[in-house]
Amino acid sequence: MNVAKSKILEVLRSRGQNDRADWVDRTMPDEIDTAKNSGLLSLLKLDAADLAEEPDRQAN
């Protein structure tokens, strides 16, 4: 499953983790494969299922 980088940035910034969001923004592609990047999501304390529940608002 792929998740839009913008969704991850939104979650991190809402937590006040702006430095981590900036790093993800600089280093990751626009679409993040949750299977290949499960370690990154775990490090960031993000659950792929939670990210997939709400579609990216920019896609509309």
What would the pLDDT profile of 29-49 be if each residue is shown by its tens digit? 999 999 999 999 999 999 988
Say how many C-beta atoms besides its own lie within 10 A of residue 32's C-beta.
21
- Three-state DSSP class for 17? coil
pTM: 0.81
Band (9; pLDDT cuts 50, 70, 90):
very high
Mean pLDDT of 7-34: 96
pLDDT, residue 55, reads 52
Task: Please name every residue paired with 31 in a beta bridge, in sequence order, or none if there are none.
Answer: 4
H helix or E strand, kind and range, residue 35:
none
Q: Which residues contact 7 (CB under 8 A, 6 or more apart)?
A: 51, 54, 56
Please determine, for residue 59, whether its predicted confidence score (pLDDT) is greater than 80. Answer: no
Residue 39: Cβ-neighbour burial (10 angstroms; 0-12, 13-18, 19+): exposed
